[in-house]
Structure 1
Amino acid sequence: MMIWLRNVMLAVMAAVAWAAPVTADSSIQLGPRPLYLLQALPEGVLKQKLQSCANGPFYRTDFSIAHRGAPLMFPEHSQQSYQAAISMGAGIAECDVTFTSDKQLVCRHAQCDLHQTTDILLRPELAAKCRQPFQAASGDSAASAECCSSDISLAEFSSLCARMDGVNERAQSVQQYLQGTPAWRTSLYNQCAKPMTHRESIQLFAAAGIKMTPELKQPEVAMPYQGNYTQQHYAQQLVNEYKAAGVAPSQVYLQSFNYQDILYWLAQEPEFGRQAVWLDGRYEQPGFDAMLPDSWRPSMQQLKQDGLNIIAPPLWLLVTEQDGAIVPSAYAKAARQAGLNIIAWSLERSRPLAEGADWYYQSLPTLANSDAAVLQLLDVLARDVGVIGVFSDWPATTTFYASCMQPPQQNVPP
C-alpha cells in the first residue's frame, strides 16, 4: 500500500510539473451544460470550488479529449462536430479511422456504420452498393441494414451527409429507420453535416492548434483486403499521413483496441509508438474480473514491459463504490503501480443518470443516480485515480472542470 501511495504522490507531482499555465482563451465557449451539471451537485467543497469558476477563465487543455467531436448534439466525426469540440476547448480530438473501397482513410466509428450515421440509404445509387440493403421490421425481426465505408469509394464517401447516430428498429421505411436518434440527444444540427477524411481531420486540428488521437478501427472485411492490403499496411498508412502533413509525433496519440497494432507502432514507429494508447478491452475476455488482477491477460506489468505507456479503459473499470463514495478501483491502482498513465472513456455518452446507471457507470449502481455523478466521477478520476485525460461527448464539461481544478496541461508525457 505504501508503494502504491508513493507512486500516486509522484504522479500527482509530475502532473503539476507538466501542467504549465497559459493565457486564458477567450474564444472558448462552454455554453449552459457545465452550469446545469454544477447545479445538480449536492452542497459541498466540490460544488463551492466549481461555482467559483463559473465565469472563467477557461483554458484549452489536453485533459479535455473530444470523443468523435461533440456527438451529444452534433453528428459524430463531422466537420461541425469537430468544430464544436474545438470551440469548447478540447485540447485533443479523435478521428476513428477506417478505409474506403479504394483504401483511403476516413473518420468513422466503425467500418460498417454508414447506414446509421449518414444518409447513404437515401441515395439509391449508393444504397445499392451496401453490404445489406434496408429490410423493414417484420414480426419479431427488427429493421436492419448494413453499409460500410469499404462498400464505396472516397469520392462517394465524401458526397454523403453525416447525421446523428441511431436507427428505428421497428421501421417500415428508410425514412422511419433513420428517425432513431435517442431522445436525450438532438437532431437540431442534423442538416447535412460534412463527413471527414483522415487527412481533412489532420488539417482541421492542426489549424486549430490541437493534438490528435486517431483510433485504428478493426476492419470488418477480410484482411489482407483485396489480397494485398494487410493490417500492417493499414497501421503504417495511418502514421504516414501524419508524416506527410508534417505533424510531430508529440502531437499524436495513436489508439487501437488491437494490441498487435500497438506492438507494431512500438517496433516500427517508436516516436509515435511511445505515446500510443491501448484501448483496453480485456473486460470482454472469459473469466475477467475487475477486482482480480490475476484474471487480466496480459498483466499490467507485462504491458509496461512491452513498452506501453498509456492505457485507456472505460469509465467503470477505474472506480467503484465504497462507504457511499466513489473511489479508485483495483484496476486503477494496478495500472498506476505498474507505471502506466491512464485515459478514460467516455464521459457524457450516457442517458440522463436519473434513469439509472448505464454501461459506462455499471460499477456505480447506487451512486450514479443523477447527472451530478458526471462531475463527481470526473473529480475522482482527476484527483484520486490521476488520469491524464478524459474522452467526452461534450468537451465543454471536461474543459470547465480542468480549467477550474488544475492548471491547463500543455504536454502530457507518456
Structure 2
Amino acid sequence: MINKMTLASLAACTALVAGATTASATDVVEMGPRPYYLIDKMADGALKEKLLSCAAGPFKPTLFSIGHRGAAMQFPEHTKDSYLAAARMGAGIIECDVTFTKDKELVCRHAQNDLHTTTNILATDLAETCVQPFVPASGDTPAKAECRTSEITLAEFRTLTGKMDAANAAATTVEAYMDATAGWRTDLYAAEGGTLMTHAESIALFRDLGAKFTPELKSPAVKMPFDGFSQADYAQKMIDEYKAAGVPAEDVWPQSFNLEDVLYWIENEPAFGKQAVYLDDSYAIEGWDPMDPQTWTHAMTDLKDMGVNYIAPPMWVLVTVEDGEIVPSVYAKEAKAAGLNIITWTLERSGPLVTGGGWYYQSIADVTDSDGVMYELVDVLAQDVGIVGLFSDWPATVSYYANCMGLK
C-alpha cells in the first residue's frame, strides 16, 4: 500500500527530474529516502507528525546543515563526488579538512597521515613514500601502514584517488587491507575512485555550488616548523586562499582543535576570527565531565573573553538523559549562557543505532535503541540546546529537519 509519505516522495522526485537539466544541477535540493526511513522508525508523537507534514517539501539549502567531509556516509570523503552529493542534499556549508603536502600546498584530507586509509596510495608506486610501509597482520599483531601528504608533492597527490575511509587490521595483503568498508557504508560510489581536491579547488567548487565554507586546519603529523613552514604560516595560508578567491569573511567558519590557531585568527585576521570555531576536544582529558565545570580546561566565560564566538564539541557532550528523556547537559547550558554559538558533530557517523549508537551517542546510550532516535536527538540539539549548525555524514537528514522547522 502506498501511503501519503510515499506519494509525497514520488511527487518530489518527479519535480526533481523535471527541474534538473544536467547531472550536476544543484538548484534543486533532493532528500532521497533516508530522512523518510528515519521518520518511519520514530515513536508516534508530535515530532513525528510535524516531520511527516513536511514530506512533500519543497526543500532548499540551509546553513544549519553542514556536510562533514562532504557526504562521507556513502561517498569517499573530501572528494569532488562527496562534496557534490552534500550540496545536492541541501548542505549550506561544506567542510574541507585542510592539511599540506611536501611542497606546502594545501589539500583536503581529514588528517595529514591518513592516505593509507582514504586513498589508493598503497596500490600505487607512491607506496614507497609511506613513513610506515604496509606490514601484514601476523598472529596477534595487526596490519599497519602510515602514509602522509607531507611526504608527497601536490603533483603526486593529484595522481591518487579517494576511497572509503577504512582499513582491515587482520589483512595479510595490501588488497585486503584496503577492502574494509563498514557494512553500513558502501563502495557503490567509490568503485571508480573519488577525485581528490586541493583546498583552493574546494573553494571554487563550493562557491559554484552556492555553499559556504568551514575549513578545518588539521594538526600536522610532522614537527613544526616543517622546512621553515611554521604553524602560523599554515594558519595564515589557509585564510589567504579565501582572500585570494575573493570570498567574504562572513561566508567562512575556520575551525581548529588547537585553540592557539583560533586565537591566531582572532588577533591577525579578525574578520575571519569573528567566526572561528574552536573544536573543543577537552573530552579526551581523563576525568573530564560535561556535567562538572570543575573538570573543564576553560570556563565558557573565559573562552568568550578570549574572543571565541563559536564552540564545537561532539554531540554527546551537549546532551544527557533525565527521567528517560534527552535533555541539554551542563556544558550546553554554560556555553549558551556565556553567549557562545554552538556547532556540533557528527550525525550519521555511527552505524545503526539499535545497540546504542557508539561513541557519538554515549551520553544517551540508555535511550538509544533505534534509528528513530536520530531525529529526537536532532530536535533536542536544535530546540533545547540551541545549536546553530550540525555536521552530518549524510546531510539530507539534517537538511530535511531544518527545512521542516524553518531553520535557515
Which has the higher relative contact order, 1 or 2, with Cα contacts under 8 A spaced 6 or more apart? 1
> TM-score normalized by structure 1?
0.91
Task: Find out whether 1:267 has 2:263 as its counterpart.
Answer: no
The aligned residue for residue 19 of structure 1 is: none
2:62 alignment partner AA: T
Give the drift of 1:285: 2.0
The aligned residue for residue 20 of structure 1 is: none
1:270 alignment partner AA: P
The aligned residue for residue 174 of structure 2 is: 174
CA deviations over 1:3-43 (Å, ceiling 9, x no partner) = xxxxxxxxxxxxxxxxxxxxxx9610110000000000010
Preserved CA contact (<8 Å) 1:26 1:58: no
The aligned residue for residue 163 of structure 1 is: 163
**CA–CA distance in 1 between the matches of 2:384 and 2:284?**
26
Give the drift of 1:284: 1.3
The aligned residue for residue 122 of structure 2 is: 121
The aligned residue for residue 11 of structure 1 is: none
For residues 131-280 of structure 1, the aligned pairs below 5 Å read 131-190=131-190, 191-226=192-227, 228-280=228-280
For residues 6-405 of structure 1, the aligned pairs below 5 Å read 27-123=28-124, 125-190=125-190, 191-226=192-227, 228-405=228-405
Preserved CA contact (<8 Å) 1:37 1:374: yes
The aligned residue for residue 20 of structure 2 is: none
CA deviations over 1:175-233 (Å, ceiling 9, x no partner) = 0101111111000011211011100100000111111000000000010001x110000
**CA–CA distance in 1 between the matches of 2:71 and 2:169?**
25
Query: Which 4+ runs in 1 deviate beyond 3 A?
Result: none
1:321 alignment partner AA: V
**CA–CA distance in 1 between the matches of 2:139 and 2:48?**
50
**CA–CA distance in 2 between the matches of 1:57 and 1:379?**
20
**CA–CA distance in 2 between the matches of 1:38 and 1:50?**
7
**CA–CA distance in 2 between the matches of 1:357 and 1:233?**
39
**CA–CA distance in 2 between the matches of 1:286 and 1:47?**
38
1:101 alignment partner AA: K
* 2:304 counterpart SS class: helix
The aligned residue for residue 10 of structure 2 is: none
Of stretches 276-285 and 286-295 in structure 1, the one that deviates more from structure 2 is 286-295
**CA–CA distance in 2 between the matches of 1:402 and 1:272?**
26
**CA–CA distance in 2 between the matches of 1:307 and 1:287?**
27
Preserved CA contact (<8 Å) 2:355 2:368: no
Preserved CA contact (<8 Å) 2:28 2:60: no
**CA–CA distance in 2 between the matches of 1:175 and 1:162?**
15
**CA–CA distance in 1 between the matches of 2:174 and 2:277?**
38
Give the drift of 1:356: 2.7
Preserved CA contact (<8 Å) 2:313 2:345: yes
Give the drift of 1:291: 1.0
**CA–CA distance in 2 between the matches of 1:130 and 1:167?**
15
CA deviations over 1:131-170 (Å, ceiling 9, x no partner) = 1110000011101100000110001111101000101111
Gaps of 5+ in 1: 1-24, 410-414
The aligned residue for residue 14 of structure 1 is: none
> Kindly tell me: are residues 185 and 119 of structure 1, through their superposed partners in 2, closer, same or farther at Cα, counting changes over 3 Å?
same
Of stretches 328-337 and 286-295 in structure 1, the one that deviates more from structure 2 is 286-295
**CA–CA distance in 2 between the matches of 1:196 and 1:349?**
22
1:337 alignment partner AA: A
**CA–CA distance in 2 between the matches of 1:164 and 1:369?**
27
Of stretches 351-360 and 168-177 in structure 1, the one that deviates more from structure 2 is 351-360
**CA–CA distance in 2 between the matches of 1:321 and 1:193?**
40
* 2:194 counterpart SS class: coil
Preserved CA contact (<8 Å) 1:62 1:90: yes
* 2:365 counterpart SS class: coil
**CA–CA distance in 1 between the matches of 2:69 and 2:294?**
33
**CA–CA distance in 2 between the matches of 1:275 and 1:26?**
27
Give the drift of 1:368: 1.1
* 2:396 counterpart SS class: helix
Preserved CA contact (<8 Å) 2:277 2:311: yes
Q: Share of identical aligned residues, percent?
A: 55
* 1:64 counterpart SS class: strand
Preserved CA contact (<8 Å) 2:290 2:318: no
* 1:128 counterpart SS class: helix
* 1:85 counterpart SS class: helix
Give the drift of 1:297: 1.3
Preserved CA contact (<8 Å) 1:70 1:84: yes
**CA–CA distance in 2 between the matches of 1:105 and 1:346?**
24
Coordinate RMSD, CA, aligned: 0.9
Give the drift of 1:286: 3.2
2:388 alignment partner AA: I
Gaps of 5+ in 2: 1-25
* 2:401 counterpart SS class: helix
Preserved CA contact (<8 Å) 2:92 2:211: yes
**CA–CA distance in 2 between the matches of 1:355 and 1:294?**
32
**CA–CA distance in 1 between the matches of 2:27 and 2:208?**
17
**CA–CA distance in 2 between the matches of 1:357 and 1:188?**
24
Give the drift of 1:64: 0.2
